[in-house]
Structures are given as C-alpha cells and as structure tokens.
Amino acid sequence: MCDTVSPLNGSNLSIAAFLKQPAEWKNSVLGALCFSADAVESQIQTDMGVPCMCVSMQRLDAGDSICEVWHGSGPLTRGQCGAIHYRHDEEVLFGVIVLSETIFEAGTDKTPLQQATESAYRQVFALLETLRYPYLFRFWNYIADINTHSFGLERYRQFNQGRQDAFLAHGRDVVGNVPAACALGFGQGRSAQGPLTIAFLAGRMAPLNIENPRQISAYQYPQQYGPRSPTFSRASLVRLGLDEVLFVSGTASIVGHATLHPADVVAQTRETMTNIKAVLAEANRLASRRFDLSSLHYKVYVRHPADLAQIRAELAHCVGDTLKAVYLQADVCRQELLLEIEATAAHPLVSMSGQRD
C-alpha cells in the first residue's frame, strides 16, 4: 500500500491510486488536494467520496496526477454547507469551497473576484464558528488568471481585498495570528475562467504562527503590492492527533518585501530555499523536536515548464538525495516570480515531559 507515512501526514498519490485504495483507508481520509491537467480525471473528484479539491494544473515531473491526502483519526463526519464540502474528526476539519465569479455582478464597489473571495472566506468562517473549529491552520488558494488586470487592479490584489474583508467581518486578526497559506494561479493566457478554489484545515487547538526574519510579514507588505496586504503567516505549527505538523506557506524569492533575481530562476530557487531554511530555524525554536530540510515534503509551483530542470537541480543541491518534491505548472502572484515552494513535514509529537533526541 502507498500509505507509507504516518496516517496524519499529508501523503501523495495519483488520483488513480487513490481510487484503488481499500474502503478502510478511504474511511480515514479527511480530504484531498488534487492536481490534474486532465479534464476527465479532474471530474473524478465526485467519485472519491471525500471532500476533494481539484485544480487544473499540469504536473511537470511525471505524467500522473497528484493528490495530497490528509487523514483523520477515529470516526469522521462528513457534511456540506453552502458551497463547502467538509469532513472532520474530533479535533480537525478539512474543507473545500469552489465558487464561480460569474454569479457576482460587477458595477458595485467590489469586483466579482473580490466578492467571490469575500463570500468564500465568510462561508468558511461561519461554518467553523458553527462547528467549533475556530483555529485556521492552513489555506490553499487557487485563482484563475491571477496576474491579469481587471477593474484597474491585478486579480491577486482583488483577491487580497476580499480575503481581508472577510477576516475583518468575522472579527479575526489580520496581523499576527493568521493562517499559513499559498496562492497560485492557473489558466493564465488560456482564459480558463476556472472557479475560485480554496481548501482549508482548521482545528480546536490554536496553531503557533511563524514568521521569517528575512522577510517583512506579508500582512505588513507596503501599499505598492496592492491596497490590502495578504493575510497569511510564513508557517504554522500544529498538533494533529499524535503528530506535530509544520505547514510552510508558499515561499518565494522575496527578501524584505522586494522580489529578488527577477530573471534568474536558479538564483530565485536558491533564495527561496534560504527563506525556507530561515522559517525552519524559527519553527525549530518552538517544535518539540527538529525539522530539517530533508524532512519536508515540497510542492514546487513553476511558472515556465522549461525551467523545471534547473529548479530541480538546484533543489537537489540544497536538500540532498532525500528530496521529496512534486512539481506543478502554475502562475505565481507577482509577475517577476518564477516559482513558489510550499512544504509540509510531520513527526510524532514529543511531549514536554518526553525525551528529546
């Protein structure tokens, strides 16, 4: 069986392999994040029997689709609320919301994407208040044509407005205590018109939020990156069952708030890994035992498929032979950024009274 990692770990497998798993394995699945450029395969989400986010992105390192699967423990409860599909155990909830912008009208003071984003996030917060999973660990955000300008503003910046408005409307912090996240684009130039697609993990215990001393917190980015700062932290450290899980947010070649090495994909990869190392060092001040670069599972979003070989070689150089990475074609939220890397690691929690190694 491909379930070689601890059951609470996010494990990776293809959609086809997912469907072949035995029922008892599927019964413990909270949800999945799937990426496939194959339109037929991406329809399969409805057959999977669990909340499944499916985004139309091409995997670059293999022909297969890829699913990141999150498992719960004990009996799971499944539900639907508005546009959200979710599943939870006693301590953690995974959900997916897919919302089309076309149901929102332009002409008000908010763009359709801004309204869709605000609505999606408000629905998520309302559900989590009702079901009592108040703490957000991690959001995954996928936005069609993320770098396109409309209504006088880049679409990623419209998304940031809607997201922050929803946080504020629900009395949530927009600085400091904010979840880890990633935000990627798909369909650029193909005018794919895909829906806004968001997945999330939330729980009943507060995560520890981590910033990167090399970078200004994203929630404090200056106005030049848009009227509203993005609402995310650089990483979150959470307890999931018996595991301690580290979610490193989408990370790019940004130092301070500036984009570095605009046309140099190798230098951007190196800078991104230096940022991830800095986030790891911060996390290790709080973690029950050390995370290191080789313990992370990476998802690498690559703007230009032709850059794959160079990015891969640089990453192997930084991490070593044990590199575990999946590569997807995606657009990144600043035009000059050629890649964004997110990462996750889990290890059994060492209790405060337990032995450290």
Please identify every residue annotated as catalytic. Answer: 340
DSSP string spanning 164-209? HHHHHHTT--SSSS--EEEEEEE-TTTT--PPEEEEEEEESSPPEE
d(CA 286, CA 281): 9
> How near is the Cβ of 205 to ligand 3EB at its closest, in Å?
22
Give me the residues that bind ligand 3EB (CB under 6 A), please. 141, 181-183, 218, 230, 232, 249-250, 252, 254, 333, 340
Choice between 10 and 72, CB closer to ligand 3EB: 10
Choice between 248 and 293, CB closer to ligand 3EB: 248
> How near is the Cβ of 254 to ligand 3EB at its closest, in Å?
5
Choice between 34 and 339, CB closer to ligand 3EB: 339
- Say which amino acid occupies 317: H
d(CA 201, CA 70): 9
Helices 308-319 and 265-284, axial angle in degrees (round to 10): 30
> How near is the Cβ of 309 to ligand 3EB at its closest, in Å?
23
Expressed in angstroms, the distance from the first to the final Cα of the chain is 30
Choice between 291 and 301, CB closer to ligand 3EB: 301
> How near is the Cβ of 249 to ligand 3EB at its closest, in Å?
5
Which residue, 300, 296, 295, 280, is CA-closest to 341? 300
Tokens of 287: 């973690």
Choice between 182 and 346, CB closer to ligand 3EB: 182
Give the count of alpha carbons within 13 A of 45, CB side only. 23
> How near is the Cβ of 157 to ligand 3EB at its closest, in Å?
10
Which residue, 154, 142, 195, 114, is CA-closest to 335? 154
Q: Which residue is nearest to ligand 3EB (CB)?
A: 250
